[in-house]
Structure 1
């Protein structure tokens, strides 16, 4: 049996395939990574879709405008790198079920997407994937709403900096993950997360020199675009 590689595939395998597409997710599964991160927005007609930016401009060949202003049918007309399409959240879960732990980042900002939290939870439950996923966000209010709606789903707080001030909030909402930009992670912060039983995610680690440094801390979960490089540097490529 192929050995699992402890690591988080950031939007799939974006250094080889278009980010947040099914082909990119498939590549991460094929490499046997333990975790995968994807981003969720809502279409105009309230369907959760997988795309990082609030706009479709950067990723699509033939689109323009905000995700929230386009229906699912309109979004599905757009192509990515010629052949790929913006996946629905349901399509992504169908592909990933029973294969990889999924970090669902909700791209919520205030009330940009009313009802997003419930829609995402409903889909996770429909697929029977409550134990296979956790939900993350930069938006603390979004995380609070998720916890109010579901008292057992895994939660993760995302932030650029690493501050001890995060821990009381994390404890309040029973947050098992903390996702911090790798440049700001310190040894004391790593130790504090271990003491609080919080899995610390370091993003986005793409340079070999940064990977070598990160590999010295086995408790870290490394989020990367360079999946095969991380497997090699961390000695997990068999």
Structure 2
């Protein structure tokens, strides 16, 4: 869900930067995180996730259906998969190619379709946080490319990685807290419950310390907020940081305290 929202936000900025056509904007239905829509056209055009790499596009009004219905049938190669309301109102199409979503939003905005921008090579400034945001946005742009175009651009990309100097502030973690969390775990990942994937040359099981509530979000650097994770789960927490995993780790810390 969060990934789709980011991709739609990038698409919104991309389209709004193009002169001419309609002035559209992305919004979200109150009380429903899944129901995102574009507004500013002949009606709202909903885009929501159906599953992994599957999307639903819905046209909310008859004028919008008159304007875009034939286009959607042509792009999707099929009639609507369903109607959200009786009387064949609000037709929906289910698609697995985000490129169709892009083309639909361009059509909705009355903009001439353009391929996604190439990866920006503008200098990165303002520290590590800005660099990470730059990386994430360009990864989203790359993910939106059709495979054949992505392959072409990847093959033509410079082979030498670009080097930038980044000035940033960082937090100094207490090594005693981190080491205690690892020894407390006794070689077992606090999230998935499996043994460390390998051992260091010293024989110590390899686990990584992780702050359940990130320090950057106000979390403490204490044994009540630090756990030991296998590399896979550690990366998972920094990519997904799901509520259910956070709760599980918090419960694990409570178990240690008993």
Do both share a fold (TM > 0.5)?
A: no
The TM-score normalised by the length of structure 1 is 0.26
Higher relative contact order (CA 8 A, sep 6+): 1
Q: Which has the higher strand share?
A: 1
